[in-house]
Amino acid sequence: MRTFAAKEGWPAIRAGWADRLPEADLAALDEAVAFAARHHGAQTRPAGEPYLEHLLEATRVLVEGVGVTDADVLRAAVLHDVVEDTACPLGEVRARFGDRVAELVGWVTKPEGGERTAYLARLRDAPDDALLVKLADRLSNVQRLDTHPRPAKRRAYYEETVRTILPLAARYPWFRTWFDGWRTEFRGLADDR
Cα dihedral 29, 31, 35, 36 in deg (nearest 10): 10
Q: What are the angstrom distances between the C-alpha of 106 and each of 6, 120, 134?
A: 24, 13, 11
Catalytic (active site) residue 137: no
Q: What are the angstrom distances between the C-alpha of 45 and each of 6, 77, 117, 133, 138?
A: 13, 17, 22, 18, 14
Catalytic residue (choose from 25, 64, 70, 84): 84
Catalytic residue (choose from 25, 85, 180, 192): 85
Catalytic (active site) residue 85: yes
Residue 60 contacts by C-beta under 8 Å, 6 or more apart in sequence? 4, 5, 6, 13
- Which residues are the active-site residues? 84-85
